[in-house]
Structure 1
Amino acid sequence: MNDRAPAPGGLALIQELVNSVDLATGADRLDTEEGRSAFGLTRRDVPGARELRESLRAACLAHAGHPPHAPVRELSELLAAGPLLVKVDAASGTASLAPADASALTARVASAIAEALISGTWARLKACEAVTCRWAYYDRSPAGRSRWCDMGVCGARAKMRAYRARKKG
């Protein structure tokens, strides 16, 4: 929906998952074989992936200071199904968190969130304020206070609605 660059690192996976449905049209990439394969999912995995997607969207909305879009399961509960392992490189001694099951979407999402927490980027993955959009985007603004996925579309529409409301009142 927007022209912003993808989120950095593992957040790109989360951004892609959240944006796998177009709320305006209802088109859901998880309904297609190609869309499912992009996330390593089978048809049987789709209900869980959708639940994860909407809990992630709620977290992204919270990052932008918006209320949840719908009742969702706690993201922490869902991520508990995706355990992480601490991996230590024998040669360098560096440590990292990695999914216990690299093929499981929930574990890959948990790993991406852990990576983003360490790098300080997790809170910059947000969801658009526009009710008909809710697209996930990475906020690269200096102050980190962006509200819309695209200022030229969703932001302009919101500002125009506010302007018209002021003119009426």
Structure 2
Amino acid sequence: MTERSPAPGALTLVEALVNTLDIESGADSLDTAEGRARFGITGDEEAEQARTLRESLRAALLAHAGHQPHREVTPLGELLAGAPLVVTVDEADGSAALTPADDRSLPARVAAAVAEALVAGTWTRLKACEAADCHWAYYDRSPAGRGRWCSMQVCGARAKMRRYRAKGA
């Protein structure tokens, strides 16, 4: 996981939530008060729901990259089905958007972000790194949309080195 340009629009929320867990080190920022506050999480139950949502999002992002999750997760659609969204219309220009009915609800904010990304055509470009010890969320800005790693310098280089060594063995 390295620094990349953040995902566009509301996908920054999804990217940030997925990246609250550093799989390699095991550090989970949802274990800290600061990490929870960043997402408006106030208690242990909400934190556990956020972790479930995070892993379901990670599974969807792995699917965007053509990979299956490494463990069973609650389907994302099931978690977002109860997220209340409303249609808002801008009186000045008539544009419309789906917005969370409750701005404090993390699932509703995520559902609105996914809806915005679907309309913008950016949802499937948000992916999870294929490295099993990483799975960091990143926005694939490659022209063909075939990015595989969060960082070519770290995860990509490791994968290529493993492949190279396997051929020589």
Quick one: distance in 2 between partners of 1:77 and 1:9?
Answer: 24
Q: Equivalent residue for 1:7? A: 7
Aligned equivalents of 1:135 and 1:93: distance in 2? Answer: 37
Q: With structure 2 as the length reference, what TM-score do the two structures score?
A: 0.97
Match of 1:17 in 2: 17
1:165 aligned partner = 166
SS at match of 1:78: helix
Provide the residue aligned with 1:145 in structure 2: 146
TM-score (norm: length of structure 1)? 0.97
Aligned to 1:72: 73
Q: Does 1:81 align with 2:67?
A: no
d(CA) in 2 for partners of 1:132 and 1:40? 28
Q: CA deviation at 1:92?
A: 2.1
1:126 partner SS: strand
Query: How far apart are residue 57 of structure 1 and its match?
Result: 0.1
Moved over 4 A (4+): none
Q: Aligned residue for 2:132? A: 131
Query: What corresponds to 2:35 in structure 1?
Result: 35
Cα deviation digits, residues 15-59 of structure 1 (max 9, x gap): 000000111111100000000000000123011000000000000
Give the distance between the partners of 1:140 and 1:91, measured in 2 at CA. 33
2:64 is the alignment partner of 1:63: yes
- The one-letter code of the counterpart of 2:86 is L
Question: Number of residue pairs matched?
Answer: 168
* TM-superposition CA deviations, 1:77-126 (whole Å, max 9, x none): 10012121111122322111101111110000000000000000000000
- Across the aligned residues of Structure 1 and Structure 2, the Cα RMSD in angstroms comes to 0.8
The answer to whether 1:99 aligns with 2:100 is yes
Task: Give the 3-state SS of the residue equivalent to 1:106 in structure 2.
Answer: helix
Any unmatched runs of 5+ in structure 2?
none
CA distance in 2: counterparts of 1:122 and 1:130, whole angstroms: 21
